[in-house]
Amino acid sequence: MSLSTTPPGADWVAVTSRPLPVGEVLTWVARPECGAVVTFLGTVRDHSEGRTGVESVEYEAYTEYVGLRLADVVTSARSSWPGIGRLALLHRVGLLEVGEVSVVIAVSTPHRPEAFDAARFCIDELKESAPIWKHETWAGGSGWGTSGHQVGNSVRRHAARGAAVSAGSADVGGPAPGGPGS
Amino acid sequence: MPHLWLFGPAREAAGTARDEVAGGTVAEVVTAACARYGEHFSDVAATCGVWVNGDTVPLDRALCDTDEVALLPPVSGG
């Protein structure tokens, strides 16, 4: 998870409150046997759904497990695209201003199709599985990110107002009666 | 008793990031937490998923005192 030095292996996974070392990643990811490097940068945008004038975003992570989830993404990508040379997944946490880089995906492969496909897979999987939350501040207020993905088993049935203790149930997620608005 | 870890809007609604909540199963801990923190927290919790020690588990999973139950609102990284 070190940022100050590049990792010894072929994968670079990190979550840090420091600015992401984009240039260093670009240098690191290139390999002699790889003719393609695809890099994706996620940056803080000045608007989101129903919110204009976004000024900053604060990212919070489940520090103890976010690295493992990112490593899972790396494992899946390498399984699907065995030709991957080097692969970097870096995410920033803490307070970021508009325009700052929040996430870096970089992948090198022998040919370009798998580099594009693997990079797209990695950012999509990261967004769906990494335990990270964003809190936006805009001109008119502040609030949590609204476009989220469910992780873990849904606790809806047990969290609804007035829910009875229901030991012995074995929920596997999905909607259940008694959620918000019910 | 099991440790409850809260993140994002669930942490904000509870007013704490960590707590200890009695319960023999994941479901019991969630229900007890909702009773402790109130209606707004319950509404947020209804949108959440849960991990125990970093893994997705059935909600009837039995808990021991060292287990870490994490309530995870929909994630929004990237």
DSSP of B13-67, one letter per residue?
HHT-SEEE---SBHHHHHHHHHHHH-HHHHHHHTT-EEEETTEE--TT-B--TT-
DSSP element (H, E) containing A153: strand A153-154
Q: Is the pLDDT of residue A163 over 60?
A: no
Judge whether A165 is closer than 8 Å to chain B, CB to CB: yes
Q: Which residues of B touch A167 (CB under 8 A)?
A: 24-25, 27-28, 60
In the numeric block, which tokens belong to residue B19?
A: 């707590």
Q: Is the pLDDT of residue B38 over 80?
A: yes
* Chain A contact probe: residue of B26, B50, B59 with most A CBs at under 10 A: B59
pLDDT score at A171: 42
Residue A147 confidence class, pLDDT cut points 50, 70, 90: confident
Residue A6 confidence class, pLDDT cut points 50, 70, 90: confident
* Distance, CA of B53 to CA of B30 (rounded, Å): 15
To the nearest whole number, what is the mean pLDDT of chain A? 89
Which residue, among B9, B47, B48, B52, has the nearest Cα to A133 in the 3D structure? B9
Judge whether A71 is closer than 8 Å to chain B, CB to CB: no
Q: Is the pLDDT of residue A33 over 50?
A: yes
Are the CB atoms for A96 and A56 separated by under 8 Å? yes
* Distance, CA of A149 to CA of B77 (rounded, Å): 9
Q: Is the pLDDT of residue A169 over 70?
A: no
ipTM above 0.95, yes or no: yes
Q: Is the pLDDT of residue B9 over 60?
A: yes
User: What value does the mean pLDDT take over residues A82-91?
Assistant: 98
- In Å, how far is B18's CA from the nearest CA of chain A? 12
B57 phi/psi in degrees, rounded to 5: -135, 160
- Digit-coded pLDDT (tens) for A117-131: 999 999 999 999 999
Cα–Cα–Cα angle for A171, A175, A177, nearest 5°? 95
pLDDT score at A170: 41
- Digit-coded pLDDT (tens) for A99-109: 999 999 999 99
For residue A147, the 8-state DSSP code is: S
Cα separations in angstroms, B40 against A7, A152, A157: 44, 21, 16
pLDDT score at A112: 98
pLDDT score at A179: 36
User: What value does the mean pLDDT take over residues A138-161?
Assistant: 90
Query: Which of B28, B46, B70 faces A62 most closely, judged by CB atoms?
Result: B70
* Distance, CA of A117 to CA of A112 (rounded, Å): 9
Which 11-70 residues of chain B touch chain A by CB within 8 A? Answer: 11-12, 24-28, 30-31, 34, 39, 42-43, 45-51, 54, 56-60, 70
* Distance, CA of A157 to CA of A107 (rounded, Å): 41
- In Å, how far is A62's CA from the nearest CA of chain B? 7
To the nearest whole number, what is the mean pLDDT of chain B? 97
First to last CA, chain B: 34
pLDDT score at A182: 31
Query: Which of A61, A147, A166 faces B27 most closely, judged by CB atoms?
Result: A166
